[in-house]
Amino acid sequence: MAFWRRISRQMQAATETVAVAPASPVIERAKTPRSRMMRQYDLVERVRSYNPDTNEDLLNRAYVYAMKAHGTQTRASGDPYFSHPLEVAAILTGLKLDDATIVAALLHDTIEDTEATRAEIDNVFGHEIGALVEGLTKLKRLELVSREAKQAENLRKLLLAIADDVRVLLIKLADRLHNMRTLEFVPHASRRRIAEETLDIYAPLAGRMGMQEMREELEDLSFHTLDPEAYAVVMQRLDSLAERNRNLIGEIESQLSKNLQKNGITARVYGRRKQPFSIWTKMERKSVGFEQLSDIYGFRVVMADVEACYRALGVVHTTWPVVPGRFKDYISTPKQNDYRSIHTTVIGPGKQRVELQIRTEEMNQIAEFGIAAHAFYKEGMGSPTERLKHESNAFAWLRHTVGILSESANPEEFLEHTKLELFHDQVFCFTPKGKLIALPRQANVIDFAYAVHTDVGNSAVGCKINGKFAPLSSELQNGDEVEVLTSQAQAAPPSAWESLAVTGKARAAIRRATRTAVRDQYAGLGRRIVDRLFARAKIEYADDKLKGALPRLARASIEDVMASVGRGELKASDVARAMYPDYKEERMVRYGAKKGFMAKLKQQSPHPARSASVIPVRGLNSDLPVKFAPNGGAVPGDRIVGIVSPGEGITIYPIQSPALKDFEEEPERWLDVRWDIDETMPQRFPARILVHNVNEPGSLAQVATVIAEHDGNIDNISMSRRSPDFTELTIDLEVYDLKHLSAIIAQLRAKAVVARVERVNG
């Protein structure tokens, strides 16, 4: 003892520095002056207040040992490092934990950050405390949400570490709570990572263990760091509301108590305001404004026993109108984290919506402190079998999970057999390699793909959920293993995905990829139009020369110029004049006025020789913004012409299309185009046919059968009755080429139920 007294005197001078948080409630901030750090007797008195049989000598030895071990170490705030484990211990005294937990809290950083060893801890404080400190040391080395770490493996290690003794988790949560309270002193670059880690892992874990007080503070501290503007707005609204309703809470508390007393029911009634993060997430989830929220204030009615809870419920429901759909009985059906309470909402005093939570004193303790309110980990509980009788559902879930872990050779196997129910506000899914992906509720595979990597999202073409093929729009559930199937052939995601995605990251990536793909298509078209003009004019084109002419075109880059030409915002001749001021545009011949031009086009080979002045057309999946004639389409084998439409790209028409007459007065919009089909990768193209069918049962089926048997695809069909004996069918088909289309038409003409078939050229 002389040794410890000497060490105490040596270190006493260092104790005049930092305050510690009050013992209760858990989330209350430190109020003592920063000029004084808690003394040994302060800590002992805190523990003695709820545990008269506390081992004072053990607490004193741990206090001095930790202070000596950390010595002159300081925190980022400049405070002595020992102030941190002392704050953690103080938080845990608010949870009324046993001596071993308080001592382990004081020592939790010694093995990691000082010269102390596990053997020394065991020798001085015993094996139980040494095991707790060792478990915390292993957790400290985990970086749960780091970019480099495999999150699934880390979560597995976390559950393994806390399952042997839940006190490890309680100390870890208290450690994180104090670190979040002092996050302002951490370098700015690390704050967001720590806050995200807290919001993703520690806050939900506290909630899963039923520790709502701690969960709420962890969420609010993270919210304040991650979105300070939103936090400030919510707090401003809350303060304004509190000012307007200054006496409302007291009035409601008073009326509730009086009504219950009139019916012979004694209750403790108190109101509380919801936390900023809870309010913000509800506004986001339900897409409502602050003014539309009806349960910002909640009231707890604490009773003596369960029977009194239901009697109180009867009094409340017969006194005030009930809000439909807002009643839940968690007493008869407790939540998985042991939470028990009756929830109801009524139109109370002042026509205000009042949310009530009716529970017993024991239920109230569990609701606030969760697993820490249970006695199974406290001292004096007898044998392990006896202690298991007091085990909570939350810890039973943890033990069950670890039972699966102990049988698993790797985290992937664990994830295969375990559906995590840990995170109620998020969905946690996994890649086939076990990487943990956190997503909001109602997220789907598209969100998952973009959460893995932007390139994975952009190239996603399919997926497997738990080994089974599923649509990309499938909503994900906790524990799903998702394999995203990708294809390099998909240059950009469909723009329709933006409306399907839930996460902002996915939506932003889809918008960006879509814009880039469309811009690239227009830029590609514009470049070919420019090349065509320069080749015909026999003048040289060079990017360097165009770069010097950008100011005259009022464009920032060459790609912007080409995209503008492709969209029809600039003419190719404007580019030529910007590069060659002396360029004189050759007066173009009006195609309609020169009958020989159309005749020449109709006589040309369907596969004209390749040249720089002719633009190749590959199909809808090409790198050009191409579409086909809306009333009849075009197929390989047709002699074709392209019409440029501003902002829409090229529309391909067969040369026999009567619609081309509409463009005879706009020769600058005409393009020479040719088919450029890859025979190794056949594509379908649109065509339209008109079928005059005999009006008898089964005739339509015969037509459809012919098309199907010859590998045609019906895209759309419309019917009209021209006479009592005949029906006119307009059928939009997808075929490979003109030969394929002609074969289908020939087979249809051979059918007795078909009077006439002809191709439509719109």
Residues that are catalytic: 112-113
Place of tokens 């011949």: 589
b/e sequence 310-336, b meaning 16+ C-beta within 10 Å: ebbbebbeeebeebeeeeebbbeebbe
436 DSSP 8-state letter: E
Pair 472, 446: CB distance under 8 Å:
yes
Q: Which residues contact 544 (CB under 8 A, 6 or more apart)?
A: none
Q: How far apart are CA 612 and CA 615, in angstroms?
A: 7
Is the Cβ–Cβ distance between 445 and 476 less than 8 Å? yes
What does each C-alpha distance from 134 to 118, 139, 156, 158 come to in angstroms? Answer: 7, 9, 17, 13
Closest CA to 235 of 278, 198, 270, 269: 278
- CA terminus-to-terminus distance, the chain: 103
Helix (H) or strand (E) holding 650: strand 649-654
Q: Quick one: which of 497, 486, 488 has its CA closest to 456?
A: 486
Q: What strands, in cross-sheet order, belong to the sheet with 268-273? A: 268-273, 297-303, 353-360, 342-347, 328-329
**Sign of the CA dihedral with 621 first, then 626, 630, and 635 last:** negative
> Do the bridges between strand 649-654 and strand 297-303 make them parallel or antiparallel, or are there none, so unpaired?
unpaired
H or E stretch at 442: none
State the virtual CA torsion across 94, 97, 101, 102 in degrees, nearest 10.
Answer: 40
Contact 212/95 with Cβ under 8 angstroms? no
Tokens of 204: 């939900």
What is the radius of gyration, based on Cα positions, of the chain? 37
Residues 6+ apart with CB under 8 A from 741: 635, 687, 689, 733, 735, 759
d(CA 17, CA 72): 13
Residue of 314, 315, 283, 311 lying closest to 296 (CA atoms) = 283
**How many helices and strands (H and E) does the chain possess?**
32, 20
Helix (H, G, I), strand (E, B) or coil at 728: strand
For residue 98, give the nearest of 151, 62, 138, 134 by alpha carbon. Answer: 62
- CB contact at 8 A, 522 and 493: no
d(CA 322, CA 492): 52
How far is residue 703's CA from residue 745's CA, in Å, rounded to a whole number? Answer: 10
Q: Could you tell me which of 743, 738, 733 has the C-alpha nearest to residue 607?
A: 738
Which element (helix H / strand E) includes 465?
A: strand 460-465
Contact 635, 741 (CB under 8 A): yes
Q: Determine if residue 556 is left, alpha or beta; phi over 0 gives left, psi from -120 to 50 gives alpha, anything else beta.
A: alpha
CA pair distance 247, 396, nearest whole angstrom? 44
Neighbours of 553 (CB within 10 A): 19
Structure tokens at 4: 């410890």
Parallel, antiparallel or unpaired: strands 468-470 and 482-486: unpaired
